[in-house]
Amino acid sequence: MCEMIDTISGGVCAAQGFRAAGLHVGVKTHAAWKKDLALIVSDAPCAAAAMFTKNVVQAAPIHVTKAHLKTGGIRAIIANSGNANACAPRGEENAKRMCAAAAAAIGCAPEEVLVASTGVIGQTLKVEVIESGAPELVRLLERSDEASDAAAHAIMTTDTVKKEFAVEAVIGGRVVHIGGIAKGSGMIHPNMGTMLCFLTTDCAISQELLQEALKEVVQTTFNRISVDGDTSTNDTCCILANGMAGNPVITTRSDSYIDFVLKLHEVCYLLARSMAKDGEGARHLITCTVRGAASEGQAEVIAKSVISSTLTKAAIFGCDANWGRVLCAMGYSGERFDPERVDVSFASSAGEILVCKNGRGLDFDEDLAKKILTEDEVDIDITIAEGDESCTCWGCDITYDYIKINGDYRT
């Protein structure tokens, strides 16, 4: 079940000095009511860090953002939905034009702007509508709940709900805020998925440690979700830190650094979990926890295999306690374990039921099992009796709607 985390309002605007906006400029030509361009701006230069897709085929905005991260003093992120600007004519040129348009309207250098895109691959980006819309986007910049909401909606594609969270904590004697927005619903697999995530914080932290913190947190959140086994060309997770909270700058792996990582993890955990729950066509969030592993790595590989199993996902969709599919997925994960020491349970808000003990099926109440699996959030709990380590990963069921959504996604 979801751990209880105290959140605050504001999203990417929760941190001091950050403003945001989102509007429709015409990238999405088929849906004039849907926002398709987002902007996040800091009033002060930021330390910045990012993680990107592991796919060898990478979209043009990733190349541009990687180059701009080397300059330091980042001021803004501009992002569009409706077109991935991946494998597209004049891709890098158009990504740079997006940065230049935002920079001109904000009053900074193009190299101080990061860029991201999401949507259909291979089509030329209508960068002219972005350039013409940039001044209005800057005019709409605010530090408000509504502004973060607008930016969150502007990066959505097949998402059915926005992904937006923020938290606060006392670090170094000062109140520090961390907020984030994200998009992701399909083409989601460990090592990032078709996701964009933009994080902001007013914490003062060095760029080096900010990158280390982001890498550490991504590994245990965004890299532990799967919807359909596909890894996108555009995955980007960026964090900007402007230091306006006034805490002593974090430059070592001190208690302040640990506190910062814990709060960053909370935001990314909530965002990652909401992506898995909002999988294209999904009706169930699947949480798989493997306990009693010899190492966290072993537990992670096994849990990922279970949440990625098409047959397991189909069983959960059908509310069928077909636990044999769970063991099957564990068995081809690549990790070695003793099948005769495996226990499997299904759980939800409707209860919990043990279906497999020591690798053998049990006589269990099928009606209770179906009732448990009918809930929209289902846990698969596995114990392998190999050690003391554990790992949790998140996925979703697969439904008829997934095929419908992706069968005509481009047209």
Please give, one letter per residue, the 3-state secondary structure of the chain: CCCCCCCCCCHHHCCCCEEEEEECCCCCCCCCCCCCEEEEEEEEEEEEEEEECCCCCCCHHHHHHHHHHCCCCEEEEEEEEEECCCCCCCHHHHHHHHHHHHHHHHCCCHHHEEEEEEEECCCCCCHHHHHHHHHHHHHCCECCHHHHHHHHHHCCCCCCCCEEEEEEEEECCEEEEEEEEEECCCCCCCCCCCCEEEEEECCCECHHHHHHHHHHHHHCCHHHECCCCCCCCCCEEEEEECCCCCCCCECCCCHHHHHHHHHHHHHHHHHHHHHHHCCCCCCCEEEEEEEEECCHHHHHHHHHHHHHCHHHHHHHHCCCCCCHHHHHHHHCCCCCCCHHHCEEEEEECCEEEEEEECCEECCCCHHHHHHHHHCCEEEEEEECCCCCEEEEEEEECCCHHHHHHHHCCCC
Q: Which of 53, 118, 157, 194 is catalytic?
A: 194
Q: Is 118 a catalytic residue?
A: no
97 CA to centre of own chain: 26
The catalytic site residues sit at 194
